[in-house]
Amino acid sequence: MMRTLKLCDGRSMPQIGFGTAAIGEFQQDNEFVKDTVLKAIEMGYRHIDTAALYGNERSVGQAIAESGIPRKEFFVTTKVWDTQQGHENTLQAMEESLNRLNMDYVDLYLVHWPYPEKTQATWQAMEQLHREGRARSLGLSNFRKSDIQQLMGFAEIKPVYNQLELHPYLTQKALVEYCESKGMVVSCWSPLGSGSWSGVDNSEKPISDPVITKLAEKYGVSAGQIILAWDLQQGRIVIPKAESEKHMKGNLNYGFTLTDEELTAIDNLNKNHRFGDDPDTATESNLSRPVPN
């Protein structure tokens, strides 16, 4: 049975989603991407995480349509990119995303990165999209405590979710606690330590850490499943990306439970190490990366 988490706006979402950044190459949008997402759907994924910047919303939408499964059984997340922030731009960005996805609404619309000068105008446009039924829930991504405090000063509709880089080498404990205290669920991006887009060798990722690989051996599962179980058992959303069928399938299935000591041993691997961008410095480079159409 699909695990779900209740959101503070009363809706619920599947706790395990399918990440779609850089299936094949970054911004690839073709049959391979569609077939990969379709394979994931056939295995049971109903929560799909994409973004305008990933340049693959068309393939994601095609896979969902071709699956023959009713749209309402899916939970689709997409995100507004920095170059599209601001009131009118955000309305336009959503229009473009919905056209590419070939959908009337998304389940969750996120601000992809904080851009404090634009946050109020962007969020108010998102509130309008929510009232119009085009974004069922609203959320954040990469928001720091200060960004959340800023948003809470004017938000009429509260964010339900914050998607953060989070894995055993970057546990972001204080920020996770802060988000949860504000009623948001935390979703983990690059939960396994990032996909091929980062150029990071597997040997440097937490999936190769001896604490993780020993637990994988103990439970007879993959290193990835150990890390994802650590998130799931603590009430976090995970959105692993996998092209291999073995990973795709394993990431959905958990016939074991980590002990409290094991959860703590994984917490203790934290070294505040980011594989991706830092919200303190990302805006400038994000603004030089346009959304492909």
Looking at beta carbons only, is 86 or 114 nearer to ligand NAP? 114
**According to the binding rule CB under 6 A, does residue 119 interact with ligand NAP?**
no
- Considering only 114, 194, 229, 262, the residue that binds ligand NAP (CB under 6 A) is 194
Q: Name the residue type at position 268.
A: N
- Considering only 59, 78, 171, 222, the residue that binds ligand NAP (CB under 6 A) is 222
With CB under 6 A as the contact rule, which of the stretches 65-73, 99-107, 127-135, 220-228 interacts with ligand NAP? 220-228
Give Cβ neighbours of residue 240 (< 8 Å, ≥ 6 apart): 16, 18, 19, 191, 192, 224, 228, 247, 251
User: Among this protein's residues, is 54 annotated catalytic?
Assistant: yes
CB neighbour burial string for 14-29, b if at least 16 within 10 angstroms, e if fewer: bbbbbbbbbbbeebeb
Q: How far apart are CA 274 and CA 272, in angstroms?
A: 7
- Considering only 20, 56, 85, 162, the residue that binds ligand NAP (CB under 6 A) is 20
The least distance separating ligand NAP from the CB of residue 212, rounded to whole angstroms, comes to: 10
Q: How far apart are CA 270 and CA 268, in angstroms?
A: 5
State the binding site.
112
Chain centroid, CA 217 distance in Å: 28
Which residue in the list 54, 105, 109, 161 is annotated as catalytic? 54
**According to the binding rule CB under 6 A, does residue 100 interact with ligand NAP?**
no
Strand partners, 12: 6
Determine the 3-state secondary structure of 22 from DSSP.
coil
**According to the binding rule CB under 6 A, does residue 190 interact with ligand NAP?**
yes
State the binding site for substrate.
112
Q: Which of residues 29-68 bind ligand NAP (CB under 6 A)?
A: 49
Question: In the block, which residue shows the tokens 């009713």?
Answer: 70
With CB under 6 A as the contact rule, which of the stretches 18-26, 91-99, 120-128, 130-138 interacts with ligand NAP? 18-26
Question: In the block, which residue shows the tokens 């969750």?
Answer: 108
List, in sequence order, the alpha helices (H) in the chain: 31-43, 57-67, 87-101, 119-131, 145-152, 173-181, 210-219, 223-232, 245-250, 260-267, 282-287
Q: How far apart are CA 85 and CA 93, in angstroms?
A: 8
- Closest-CB residue for ligand NAP? 224
**Of 253, 246, 186, 229, residue with least CA distance to 44:** 253
The least distance separating ligand NAP from the CB of residue 208, rounded to whole angstroms, comes to: 9
With CB under 6 A as the contact rule, which of the stretches 7-15, 152-160, 170-178, 216-224 interacts with ligand NAP? 216-224
**According to the binding rule CB under 6 A, does residue 141 interact with ligand NAP?**
yes
Looking at beta carbons only, is 168 or 240 nearer to ligand NAP? 240
Looking at beta carbons only, is 86 or 191 nearer to ligand NAP? 191
Chain positions contacting ligand NAP, by CB under 6 A: 19-21, 49, 112, 141-142, 163, 189-196, 207, 222-225, 239-244, 247, 250-251, 276
